[in-house]
Amino acid sequence: VPELPEVEVTRRRIAPHLVGRRIRRVRTTRPSYFFVTPPARLRRALAGRTATDLERHGKYLLAPLDDGTRLVLHLGMTGQLFSAAATSPRLLSATARASLAPEEQPSFRPDAHTHLRFEFEDGGPEVYFRDTRKFGKVLWLPDGKAHPRLARLGTDALEVSGALLFTATRGRRVAIKSLLLDQSILAGVGNIYADEALFLAGVRPTRSAARVTRRECDAIARGLKRVLARSIETGGSSISDYVAPDGRDGEYQSERRVYARRGEPCFECATPIARVVVGARSSHYCPRCQR
């Protein structure tokens, strides 16, 4: 599942292919739950427009357009946003991949899962949004209109601070792990990063949020920024279907200290990493280093 770092990596890599290029037309697949804005309306709204920027809030990508409207994209679980100029062998079917000679550059042909195809006035490479499971979303926001999905989002996780966490945790009896995953408090913190940040701060995922001290809130905020920044640097975690827009896989997962390391020795104290379910999410921690 693409988390904040993967979405940020996607944003940085796709922006040069999208921003400042006038859209000639957008081709879509048929209406489905992928399209929050109906495809016909989307095609009309985007023809002739130019994205002036590509921003991110939590796991949402927002492209302000030159007429004051905005295009919003969410990668969902398997969404891939990439340029025809930079595709990955992993986007090809196994058969197509096997038939490639080593010196052949893989090329991607839009398929039934390619829900958006941006064609540009400059005639250059198209930009595709492909999503095999359609948990991704696309919507178009007319001028000035906010969408409930976006209005509900808390502070972007890269902007987290100890003060913010301390305020948000006072009087809350929910587990600190669940609070970190609450998108109305922090937008874009996923399971991996919450577990890793709590390890760095020495706080158990099950501890009541109200019982986390100010000093520990500072440490959790520092930990979150550190793991998110490091994951962005290495290109995302690439645990499942995530493929970077130019086909490079993320490498962050090799740096995990606790996430999905149940039973393996803690790198600090050699105690086996434990797993516990918190708010229906699997959580990993060191029983000795985290209290």
Provide the binding-site residues for Zn ion, judged by CB under 5 A. Answer: 266, 268-269, 271, 286, 288-289
How would you classify the pairing of strands 186-187 and 155-156? parallel
Min. distance of Cβ 229 from Zn ion in angstroms?
Answer: 23
DSSP state of 225: H
Shortest distance, position 258 Cβ to Zn ion, whole Å: 9
**In angstroms, what is the minimal distance from the CB of 161 to Zn ion?**
26
Q: How far is the CB of 197 from Zn ion (least distance, A)?
A: 15
Report the candidate in 218, 241, 228 with the shortest Cα–Cα distance to residue 77.
Answer: 241
Helix axes 214-233, 162-169, angle to 10 degrees: 130
Classify residue 105 by its DSSP letter.
P
Residue type, 122: D
Q: Of 111 and 268, which CB lies nearer to Zn ion in the complex structure?
A: 268
Q: Which is nearer to Zn ion, 184 or 271 (CB)?
A: 271
Comparison of 119 and 216: residue with beta carbon closer to Zn ion: 216
Give the nearer residue to Zn ion in terms of CB position, either 208 or 271: 271
Tell me if residue 266 falls in helix, strand or coil: coil
β-bridge mates for residue 285, sequence order: 274
Least distance in angstroms from the C-beta of 271 to Zn ion: 5
Nearest approach in angstroms of CB 177 to Zn ion is 17
Nearest residue to 216 via CA among 207, 172, 228, 258: 207
- Which residue, 210 or 269, has its beta carbon nearer to Zn ion? 269
SS3 73: strand
Tell me the residue number closest to Zn ion, measured at CB. Answer: 266
Cα–Cα distance measured from residue 157 to residue 258, given in angstroms and rounded to the nearest whole number: 20
| Cβ–Cβ under 8 Å, residues 50 and 98 | no
Are residues 229 and 188 in contact, defined by beta-carbon separation less than 8 angstroms?
no
The residues that bridge with 275 in the sheet, in sequence order, are: 284
**Smaller CB separation from Zn ion, 122 or 268:** 268
Cα–Cα dist 237/230, whole Å: 10
Gap between the Cα atoms of 291 and 102, Å rounded: 52
Question: Helix 214-233 crosses helix 4-18 at what angle (to 10 degrees)?
Answer: 40
What residues are annotated to the active site? 2-3, 59, 281
User: Do 236 and 227 form a contact (C-beta atoms < 8 A)?
Assistant: no
